[in-house]
Each structure stands twice: as structure tokens, then as C-alpha cells.
Amino acid sequence: MSYDFDLFVIGAGSGGIATARRAAQYGAKVGIAEFNDLGGTCVNRGCIPKKLMVYASLFPAQFEAAQGYGWSLAQSTLDWEKMITAVNNEVTRLTGVYQRMLDNSQVEIFRDYGQFVDSHTIALGDHKVTAEKILIAVGGKPFTPTKIPGIEYALTSDQIFHLKQQPKRFVVLGGGYIGCEFACILNGLGSEVTQIIRADQILRGFDCDLRAEIQAAMQKHGIRILNNAQDIAIAKTKTGLQITLKGENEEMIVTDAISLAATGRIPNIQNLGLENTQIEVSNGAITVNEYSQTTEAHIYAVGDCTNRINLTPVAINEGRAFADTHFGGKPRQMSYENIPTAIFTIPEAATVGLTEAEAREQYGDDVEIYRSRFRPMYYTLPNKDEKTLMKLVVHRQTDKVLGAHMVGDYAAEIIQGVAIALKMGALKADFDATVGIHPSSAEEFVTMR
């Protein structure tokens, strides 16, 4: 049978664009559908604008620290509108870059919502196309907990990048990394921040020491964290949004008509026409095997819509592995071992490999923990009580480093290099035999005994 395309991609986020370009480079005829901005969540509503706002939020602390080095007190105020405009201008520039990359790769772009008519046919508005292979890369979307009365008054994490004015009082619902990052950003920019979580600690799933260190630092920096909030209601009043809490912390909080719903994300697979295929969905995500193949043999899915590891570089690697295998004659699988990740809170955190709890679950008492907590040199002259935490999780019998975790300045930059060592199977003895760069925080990873 003759098809319009060798490969058709639904969704032009990071994973979809990477797959389309790689397949086209191998000579495949490729089409891609995207009804929203090119680049997906990461470029438009996630990693990029968020990190730019993180940078903006760091300057007040840097101005203060500068006095310890002899600089006079800086008198500076934030122009929120200028900052937001600059962030969104950069996002617009990047979407243009993606457009040019697809054009240069000769990938045909359809600016419509793609829906399955059958397993080989995609409807794009009034137009239909057919493809031999189809890749779903539609990403995720913010989850809004409908059981909370008044939740319709809350903003999602996507909307924070378009606020015209800075909220002076800001409430974050949720203790995941997105919620924690936005709490730190707004706190650093000068807003009064309260974070409400249902558990007793933020960042469920991360290493225990990392979670405790970040939460303590956030509270020390002025963020109010309310734990174990089980009964939440939101109401609109003349003075703003009123949030009522019951449970361990019974009280009423008023915000400046803004409450960020940062309660996680879910696969964005509604209205795709999956019912017109044999694709299986489990727990709200598209079911795939180790090759990103769905239960329809010629249809594949990558990225957040599969709800495996929801990180931009993972989606890109999954997509390129698919393209290499099916169009490049270079069969390979995506490896999910030792994938590093960062949390852009203040202080920053990064991690790779097993947490202490995961290691003990697998190896019992045959686990050795190496931990160091210290004040970096940068904070000595300003006399700031800021700490860095570094931790290695080691399998005692083999001496293999199972996990590395860090909280502190430049954690992401440092852990990226440590991740290479873990990927290569480094032993604690290899860390010990490595000469440190002095003076630096990073050297602590090779001097812990």
C-alpha cells in the first residue's frame, strides 16, 4: 500500500521534533502535526522560561552577598513586566528556531490538531494524511484536582509565564518539583509565598536527605510550608482568593487573586481518536514496550504521554532511538538507568542513580552512605548561613556507586559530570583516586571518606 508519509509525528514538542528531524536525515518522508506553539512544554511553558525566571530570582541574594566583598548596598527593584516580556521574547525566538530546523530538514508541518481516523490515517482539520509509521509525542498537561472547591480560580503552572503583574502574596498548591521551583522563584522575586502540601514533606520520590535539606532551606529563606493539608477550599472574595485549610494546619489564607495549581501533570492524550486504533491506555498513559512501540505494531509513542520518565532529554533520546532503529539501520533501545535530573529550587538540587531508600530496598544493609555538608567558600565573606549537601550511595560488596545527590549552588552542572561516571559503572575507589579541583565545591565528591 502507498502512504503519504513514511513517518507522521503527532506533536511537535522536543521529542516529536527530534524524531522527525532524525528520521528525515535518514531519507524518510516525514510530516508533523502541531496545533500549538512549536517546541512543546519545555520551550513554551516549562524548562526554558522557568529557568530564565530562576536566574531573575537569584539577583537579590547576589546583591546582598556582594556587600561582603566590599560592594556598596545595591538599590534595585524588579520590573516584572520587563522581565516577563524578555522571557517570552526568548521563547518566541526559540519557536522560530524550531520552525527553521524543521524546514531545513524538509519535514512538512501541519498546524492542525491530529486525530486518528484509523491506525494509518490522521485527520488534520478538513484534511487527511496516511503514514506507514506513526509516532505520538503529544506530551503532558497540568493536572487540576477537581475535588477542591473553587479550584477553577487557580492558575496552572503554564499560566504563570503570562501574568501581567507580580502577585505580592502567592500560594502554591502541591509539593512536587514544579510547585517547589515556582515557590522559590516567586519568593526570590519578592512575593510572600505559602506552599500547601498534602504530605509531611516536599518532593516525594527523591532522596530523603535531599528532600529534608531543600525544605529546611526554603523555610529559612522565608517560604511558609504547610504540611498534611487534607481539606482545601478556595473562594473568591473582594480582597483576593481565600483558601481555607482543615487538618493539621487549620487556617485561612488570602492571596492576591492568584493561586498556582502545581499538583502535577498528566498525559495529554484526550481527543486523539485512540478509540479508532488498537492502542492500549493504562492509568491514563499510552502503553508502550521497551522500543516505544504501542499495541499497534506500526504506531509508537515517546515522552510524557507514556508517563515513563517525564524529562525533555528522555523524550528526545526515546525519539532518536526510534528513528535510528527504523530509518537509520542502527537498532538501539533507550536506557533508563542512571538518568540525571535537577530541581531548580533555591538552593538548587540534582540527582542521579538510586536514592538511599531504593538502594536499601535492593541491597539491604549492604549499602554504605557517604555524606558531606558544608558552607561553600562563596558565603564566607558575606557570612551567610548557606549549606551544600553532597551524598554518595555505595554498594558495599562491589564498591559500585549506586547514586549521587547534591543540594547547593551549581548542583545540576556538577551532577551532569558525575552522571557520566555512574553510567560507566564507577566505583567509590575511582572517585577516591580522582584528584579534586581546589578550591571548589565539586571536589567534595572525590574527597568523601
List residues with catalytic annotation: 438
Burial of 433 per CB tally in 10 Å (0-12, 13-18, 19+): exposed
Cα separation of 322 and 293, whole Å?
9
- Residue 282's contacts (CB-CB under 8 Å, 6 or more residues apart) are none
The CA-atom distances, in angstroms, between 426 and each of 92, 186, 210, 339, 397 are 41, 39, 22, 15, 14
- Residue 228's contacts (CB-CB under 8 Å, 6 or more residues apart) are 197, 198, 199, 200, 247, 248, 249
Q: Which residue has the cell 498528566?
A: 266
Number of H helices, E strands in the chain: 10, 24
Q: Which of 278, 225, 269 is nearest to 249 (CA)?
A: 225
Per DSSP, 448 falls in state -
The CA-atom distances, in angstroms, between 160 and each of 44, 45, 246, 381 are 12, 9, 27, 36
Cβ pair 371, 209 in contact under 8 A: yes
SS3 assignment, position 231: strand
Cα separation of 209 and 201, whole Å?
11
Burial of 204-243, coded b for 16+ CB within 10 Å and e otherwise, reads eebbebbbebbbebbeebebbbbbebeebebeeeeebbbb
Cα separation of 411 and 431, whole Å?
17
| 123: its cell numbers | 485527520
Angle between helices 208-220 and 356-363 (to 10 degrees): 160
